[in-house]
Amino acid sequence: MAATGELTVRPVRPADRDRIIELTRDVWDGHDYIPRVFDEWITDAGAAFQAAELDGVVVGLHRMRPYASGLIWYEGLRVATPHRRQGIARAMLESAIAEARQQGFREMRLATGNPDAVRLFEANGFRRLIDVRWWRGMRVEGGEPARMPDPAEAKKLWPAIATSPGLELYGGVTADFNNARDLGPDELERLAQTGMLRVGPGGKAVAGLRDAWGRNLAVGFIAGSGAPLRELLMALRFEADSDGLDNTTISVPRGHPAAEDLRASGYDLANAEDTAYIYGLIL
């Protein structure tokens, strides 16, 4: 079924707040994050927070946000329940892709756990980069948090880390649902500059942190194996405790060989039945 009338994509306005809260009310059983970030998104001049309007009514929304050289992040695609399966999501996605190309971006990336969205993205040429699983370890008292390396040291860690078992499963990007960056020496240096890199004994294991969604220490990737990795994994649980957080959450691709090290360090698979993916589209 096609939508009637003319679909217009325009910037979201402050006056759209009530309509967007209404539109997202049934997403994730009423726990959609978009109402919480509405004020932040609408005032972010560096991103494009847009609404799809049909016959004068907002029926959809999405956001595009540059986050690294040549890369743009696509997020927040929503369509009002009565207007779903009418081609609105596809039209919004195609509009975003065209705009990103016009602005000269080389690649668009996104994260999703919605099977319907997966079909839409794959039909538009997106390639799956990572199939993500989350492991969770509860806070532990009494130990030392992991060490934070300086940027110069961090960049030099890459040659050893690059051959870490399972690193290839990340597909060259971090498993960060806020913005999946390219994984390499420059990313280690950037994480260290922002205080978001942790290193294990001898530099034989590392963990790249990401912005958390709740009361947890969130990790976007790990590298290493055996005793150095297990020591680092425990240190992250100690750090969660020292920061007054509930747990440490670690994102790893499905089938990652660190599963045994994670279990041995007190982590459980938090989303064994769920699916979550990071996709990329070369523009």
Q: Tens of pLDDT along 191-245?
A: 999 999 999 999 999 999 999 888 999 999 999 999 999 999 999 999 999 999 9
pLDDT of residue 225: 93
| Rounded-to-integer distance, Cα 97 and Cα 99, Å | 5
The answer on 249 and 154 residing in a single domain is yes
pLDDT of 112 > 90? The answer is: yes
The domain of 73 spans: 7-105
The answer on 166 and 255 residing in a single domain is yes
| Rounded-to-integer distance, Cα 30 and Cα 123, Å | 28
pLDDT of residue 114: 83
Long-range CB contact pairs, 77-85, < 8 A, 24+: 77/117, 78/23, 78/24, 78/27, 78/32, 78/34, 79/52, 80/23, 81/26, 83/3, 83/54, 83/59, 85/1
Q: Which secondary-structure segment (H or E) carries 234? A: helix 226-242
| Rounded-to-integer distance, Cα 213 and Cα 144, Å | 24
The answer on 176 and 46 residing in a single domain is no
Indicate the burial class of 102 (C-beta count within 10 angstroms; 0-12, 13-18, 19 or more): exposed
Average pLDDT over residues 158-164: 93
pLDDT of 2 > 60? The answer is: no
The answer on 87 and 24 residing in a single domain is yes
Q: How far, in whole angstroms, is CA 248 from its chain's centroid?
A: 16
The answer on 196 and 86 residing in a single domain is no
| Cβ contact 200:228 at 8 Å | yes
Domain membership flag for residue 22? yes
Task: Pick the closest to residue 42 from 69, 21, 70, 67 (CA basis).
Answer: 21
pLDDT of 272 > 70? The answer is: no
pLDDT of residue 273: 67
Domain membership flag for residue 151? yes
Q: Which CATH number fits the domain that encloses residue 235? A: 3.40.630.30
| Rounded-to-integer distance, Cα 241 and Cα 247, Å | 8
Domain membership flag for residue 2? no
Domain membership flag for residue 120? no
Domain membership flag for residue 41? yes
The answer on 201 and 150 residing in a single domain is yes
Tokens standing for 100?
């990103």
The answer on 138 and 28 residing in a single domain is no
- State the total domains in the chain: 2
The answer on 57 and 15 residing in a single domain is yes
Q: Which secondary-structure segment (H or E) carries 88? A: helix 88-102
The answer on 168 and 72 residing in a single domain is no
Q: Average model confidence (pLDDT) for the chain?
A: 93
What is the percent of the chain where pLDDT is above 70?
Answer: 97
Average pLDDT over residues 246-275: 90
| Rounded-to-integer distance, Cα 97 and Cα 130, Å | 21
Domain membership flag for residue 283? no
The answer on 270 and 142 residing in a single domain is yes
Average pLDDT over residues 16-32: 90
Average pLDDT over residues 73-94: 94
Instruction: Indicate the residue type of 72.
Output: I
The answer on 139 and 271 residing in a single domain is yes
Pick left, alpha or beta for residue 158 (phi over 0 → left; psi -120 to 50 → alpha; otherwise beta).
alpha
Indicate the burial class of 141 (C-beta count within 10 angstroms; 0-12, 13-18, 19 or more): exposed
At which of 88, 105, 122 does a domain end? 105
pLDDT of residue 116: 82
pLDDT of residue 147: 95
pLDDT of residue 1: 33
The answer on 252 and 139 residing in a single domain is yes
At which of 70, 89, 105 does a domain end? 105
Domain membership flag for residue 115? no
Whether this prediction's pTM lies above 0.85 is answered by: yes
Q: Looking up tokens 């967007």, which residue turns up?
A: 20
- Binned at pLDDT 50, 70 and 90, residue 31 comes out as confident
- Binned at pLDDT 50, 70 and 90, residue 5 comes out as low
Pick left, alpha or beta for residue 125 (phi over 0 → left; psi -120 to 50 → alpha; otherwise beta).
left
Tokens standing for 33?
């994050």
pLDDT of 181 > 60? The answer is: yes
Domain membership flag for residue 1? no
